[in-house]
Amino acid sequence: MIEQSISHYLRLLFDRSNEIIFFLNDNHEIIYQNRAAEQVINPIQDVLNTQLCHYCDGMTTEDALKSCVECFLKLDKQQEDFQLFIKLKDGSTRPFSASYQSIDEAKGIKVLRLNEVTNQLKTQQTLHQKELTKRILQAQEDERKRISRELHDSIIQNMLNVLVDVRLFKYLSHDELKRKVESTEEALQQLMKSIRNISVELRPSSLDDLGLLSALRSHFKYIEKNYGLSVNFNTNVEDSRFKTEIETAIYRIAQEAVFNSVKYANVDFIQVQLNRLNEQLILTVTDEGKGFDMNEQPRGSGLGLFGMRERADTVGGSFEVISQKNNGTEIKVTVPLDS
């Protein structure tokens, strides 16, 4: 009696559940489905003994949004909480959260359970977009503040000093005027240098005119001259040109990674490598400084690492950070190139 009741309730649960349930045989053919499944694909009499691949449009992996590589059916092992795309009877394709397991190994019977995730994905995407926008705006505002302070404390102050000197010219004797003109000339040269440095930080002209390698070499010379830190730069790229978005992403990531080492690592030497290998561009920035615990929030706001990861994502690349306290940090970016 108890077994009959359980069987009855399980049957009700199967038929009335909002969860989509498919029973599959050893050939991955649909042998039964519940009512929820008939809402998204055809009735059982139309799909009976039809392979699931007829309705499947791939699964999400770490490398691709939709892929049939390493398909859960081919691997033929229990999998839980993966994302699967199903072709609906109206011709559209929709993502589902999936779970796949064997329920009768002797007969080769498997069960595939699907749950709707469209609304959850939209919510997650909206939240991610809001958080991303918030961080980008904050980073932009911080950069504007930094440039504003630099303009006020350096450029404007120097310009005021030059202006005062020029106003005094008419009151000076010939010899005094000559000396004052010379000192003013030096002040103007220093002012031009400061403006040029700000301009290079915003967007180095060499990146557009001469390419990625020239821009990186110029930046590393700037780092060595102004921060007293040696940058050992090795590459096999040999002045090749790449897409503008790739060159910009690699330059900005290298710039941020080196500045992070300058600010936090407390080192005198940084190793930078940029190599082309198997149609991939690989950037590695390594220091042997303080490092940090990767299970904790890194020093600073964390926006630097976040920004580097986002830049890598925009060109389809991968971003990896390896660090340990008192054992240095390595940042590695791999960007695919069109063959």
What does the alpha-carbon distance between residue 264 and residue 260 come to, in Å, rounded to a whole number?
A: 6
Top pLDDT among 238 and 136 is at 238
Average pLDDT score over residue span 14-37: 89
What does the alpha-carbon distance between residue 188 and residue 302 come to, in Å, rounded to a whole number?
A: 38
**Nearest C-alpha neighbor of 333 from the set 281, 287, 263:** 281
Residue pLDDT, tens place only, 301-326 = 556 787 888 888 888 899 999 988 88
* CATH 3.30.450.20 fits domain 2-116: yes
Q: Which one is the CATH code of 205-339: 3.30.750.24, 3.30.565.10, 3.40.1370.10, 3.30.70.20?
A: 3.30.565.10
pTM over 0.75: no
Residue 206 contacts residue 214 (beta carbons within 8 Å): yes
**Nearest C-alpha neighbor of 278 from the set 318, 235, 335:** 335
| Token pair in block for residue 272 | 């930078």
Q: Could you tell me which residues come within 8 angstroms of residue 113 by beta carbon, excluding any fewer than 6 positions away? A: 19, 20, 21, 22, 98, 99, 100
What does the alpha-carbon distance between residue 333 and residue 30 come to, in Å, rounded to a whole number?
A: 44
Residue 113 contacts residue 13 (beta carbons within 8 Å): no
Top pLDDT among 190 and 201 is at 190
339 pLDDT exceeds 50?
A: no
